[in-house]
Structure 1
Amino acid sequence: MNIADLEDEIISLVDSQREDDYWDFKQCYHKNKADLLHDIICMANNRSNHDGYIIFGIQDKTFNIIGVEKDELKKNQQNIIDFLKSKSFSNDTRPKINLVTLNIYQHSVDVLIVYNTLETPYYLTKDYKDNNRTVRANYIYTRVGDTNTDIDKSADSNHVEYLWKKRFGIHLTPFEKLRYILSKKNKWKVTENFSYYIQNPEYTLVRNIDDNCRCSSEFYAYNMTDTNVIYGTISVNYFGTKLYDNQTVSLDGGRYITVIPEWGTISQDKYHRNTDFFKYFVKDDISYDLHRYLINMDSYEAVYAYKKFMEVVLLFENNYEKKCFIMYVESNLDLFENIISSNKDNYNYLDIESPEKEQVIRRLKVAKALKEMQLKFYDANRSKNEER
């Protein structure tokens, strides 16, 4: 999530005038460090399957934004990381955090993001005490609704059971678990065309060459050193049931393999008669998970080809961001065309016959222009939020 989206979400949560499973408002930073630790553990073990937010600079009861710019107890991210590292957590597994400062309505609001993981439950193996407050060893704390488990109690057994199920992925559907385990590439046993997840070998991944593909050449292949393309297929199965399949493309002479990205369009007129095409991935889609899984980070040539690929393929956080970006470009078509025109590369080195060559050149230039427009889009959103 980018800063603009996070700001929008935090403003929405403040406007709700309430707290809930994954967000907790604080007028200022904690005076007692045991209370801080307790709040972080509760949020790390929250049951909402969402990143937790401890939001500093919001007034008690009124929910007015007062900021933390005058808070003498204010901490930075390294302070909190060092604090957590010094505590005795089970299996040395600590909550993962990120502290972000937002400018909202001329106030600095700190958001301590406590990331949602499958490593629950988080708990201490040694007591931690600050004055009269003690976070107990082997007590499991959680957050249900707007209420944390009391510091002198352990969570109810049904909540503890859920957190252990989460640790082993039992609470996930097979498709949800697939998306999670694709991020654990080092836990897959990989052969040339067949792989399985070591901890759950019922998850398998099969790749094949597609000799029957009659696709037109992918324009991004011409941003590579070697423009040859080999098409293939990839399928991911669970106990023999196909959970997902898609086409793949092998680029730069086989050095780099990826799932084929989606097509997007920019319309030059309201009737969509004059349209430019681009390729993209969305981060919250499984296609992007597999795209990341297939990158061979141990190969310099593969990484270089990947970077050339991403020079002309767009990446969005979600479909809503994609929709907003397309609207932004279509509202600034003169700027879009000026950026394309400023690209003086005539691509004479491309060994393609016309008119395909003109089409490939246009798409390469469009892709690079959209990459530049995306930076302007983010800057515009950031400026709007700073004006609030």
Structure 2
Amino acid sequence: MANESLYLEIMNLINSKTEGQYWDFKREPHEDNKTLVHDILCLANAKHDGDRFLIIGVDDPSEDCKIIGLDENTPKRKKEADLNDILNNIEFSGGNIPIVNVRTLNIDNKEIDVIIIKNTMNKPYYLEKNYGIVKAYHIYTRTGDRNTPKDKNANFSDIEYMWKERFGLNLDVEERFELCLDDIDNWMDEFETKETALYKPVPEFSIELTEFNESDYVEPFNTFYLDNSLLYGNILFKYNSNVIFQCEYAYCDGGRLLIPVPKLYVYTDKNGESVEFYYYNLDAIEGKFAKLISNDTFDFKCRIRSFPFIIVKNESVLNNFVEYLKDNITKSDIPSNTMFNTEDPNKYTSTVNLDSLVYIKSVFDEWILYYEEI
């Protein structure tokens, strides 16, 4: 799936028959590493919300972006490990090295290499020591289809924007908060005593748990713990005193374990029957909080018990998984049909098949390996 998406994007760029802000064509691999590093720096610092591409094996626009291709005997051709070795042996300021991948695509029976420079907030990237023609303390970028010359700096406004991007000053407060939540090592968590957390670099960002209420009901996820009593409350994500986001939390297993309340997805199979599973989306507040409080482990065991849930990177992965389920998994595939304890049926809020929660998680664990490979 990932390679298919990359293939379509690169084909669109080739068919545009132009070079641009975040992509550059090279007929053949760079003759020397210094020129290669300069091109990577320019693209890494470019103003663009997304990956950047050095596409090697394709002629420039003056030759109509003709696909030339590469082979195993092409001089100077580099694998990802080769490229990272080069970058890791250069003195980048603060050890801040661009993140690069190399992918080989087959187009019209010809191989091309795509050096992917990942978009991060770590701009500007620059060197602390000259690397041949690449100058120390020079900040390079790409404007339109032009790189900053090797003996010059980017213009002031571009450099200013890079520093703003590094500290999130170009974002609105909601976007800044989401980035802070991803920086899990810098949160001071006091949920056990004060039910608050502060973001140490910018303490105006905070998280607060409201006073909990004891629920008269039990949710499906809580039945997997030894004690199925449930405490509910709200999580308030604040900037100064303003609530920017909120979602629900639950104390499970008699108050022993704090989790954000997971999302329950219900889809209708080919036979018109409902199948359910729990998930956290890492692009959503619940997923970010789950990552934060678990220290990126997503381990919600308590007294050796946990509830089954899946973790998706974004809404697109979730939608692709659901399409796979609709095509391949029906309720009849689930080996059993364990419902809630029926001794007190009025105590439960819905009649979710607990076995479907376990089964769909096992399906996801296999599916995601295949999805990430392609």
* TM exceeding 0.5: yes
Task: Supply the distance in 2 between the matched residues of 1:75 and 1:147 (Cα, whole angstroms).
Answer: 24
Which stretch of the first structure deviates more once superposed, 64-73 or 42-51? 64-73
Task: List gaps (5 residues or longer) in structure 2.
Answer: none
Task: Supply the distance in 1 between the matched residues of 2:295 and 2:313 (Cα, whole angstroms).
Answer: 23
Task: Supply the distance in 2 between the matched residues of 1:139 and 1:149 (Cα, whole angstroms).
Answer: 10
SS of 1:110's equivalent in the other structure is strand
Letter paired with 1:336: T
Displacement of 1:230 in angstroms is: 3.0
Displacement of 1:203 in angstroms is: 0.8
Displacement of 1:379 in angstroms is: 4.2
8 Å CA contact retained: 1:4, 1:382: no
SS of 2:213's equivalent in the other structure is coil
Letter paired with 1:38: H
Letter paired with 1:100: R
Task: List gaps (5 residues or longer) in structure 1.
Answer: 384-388
8 Å CA contact retained: 1:325, 1:374: no
Partner of 2:231 in structure 1? 230
- Call closer, same or farther: CA 1:307–1:46 in 2, change over 3 Å: farther
Q: How many residues align?
A: 366
Task: Supply the distance in 2 between the matched residues of 1:102 and 1:218 (Cα, whole angstroms).
Answer: 48
SS of 1:165's equivalent in the other structure is helix
Pair 1:112 & 2:106 matched: no
- Call closer, same or farther: CA 1:366–1:286 in 2, change over 3 Å: closer
Partner of 1:200 in structure 2? 202
Partner of 2:190 in structure 1? 191
SS of 1:315's equivalent in the other structure is strand
Letter paired with 1:39: D
Partner of 1:25 in structure 2? 25
Which stretch of the first structure deviates more once superposed, 279-288 or 243-252? 279-288
TM-score normalized with structure 1 length: 0.80
Encode CA deviations 1:158-216: one digit per residue, 9 max, x unaligned: 111111212222111111111111122222222221121122111111123420656x5
Over the matched positions of the two proteins, sequence identity in percent amounts to: 28
Task: Supply the distance in 2 between the matched residues of 1:121 and 1:377 (Cα, whole angstroms).
Answer: 34
Displacement of 1:218 in angstroms is: 3.2
Pair 1:241 & 2:231 matched: no
Letter paired with 2:118: Y
8 Å CA contact retained: 1:297, 1:303: no
Displacement of 1:283 in angstroms is: 3.0
Encode CA deviations 1:219-263: one digit per residue, 9 max, x unaligned: 233445655543232111112111100001234555543322223
- Call closer, same or farther: CA 1:353–1:239 in 2, change over 3 Å: same
Partner of 1:329 in structure 2? 325
Which stretch of the first structure deviates more once superposed, 202-211 or 60-69? 60-69
Partner of 1:125 in structure 2? 128
- Call closer, same or farther: CA 1:320–1:248 in 2, change over 3 Å: same
Task: Supply the distance in 2 between the matched residues of 1:218 and 1:107 (Cα, whole angstroms).
Answer: 55
- Call closer, same or farther: CA 1:286–1:145 in 2, change over 3 Å: farther
Letter paired with 1:199: P
SS of 1:78's equivalent in the other structure is helix
TM-score normalized with structure 2 length: 0.82
Encode CA deviations 1:116-158: one digit per residue, 9 max, x unaligned: 22221111121111xxxx0111111012223221222111111
Letter paired with 2:145: D
8 Å CA contact retained: 2:58, 2:67: yes
Pair 1:250 & 2:240 matched: no
Partner of 1:292 in structure 2? 291
- Call closer, same or farther: CA 1:34–1:264 in 2, change over 3 Å: same
- Call closer, same or farther: CA 1:253–1:25 in 2, change over 3 Å: farther
Task: Supply the distance in 2 between the matched residues of 1:79 and 1:218 (Cα, whole angstroms).
Answer: 52
Letter paired with 1:52: R
Encode CA deviations 1:78-122: one digit per residue, 9 max, x unaligned: 222221121122222222223334455655443333222222111
Partner of 1:386 in structure 2? none
Partner of 1:364 in structure 2? 355
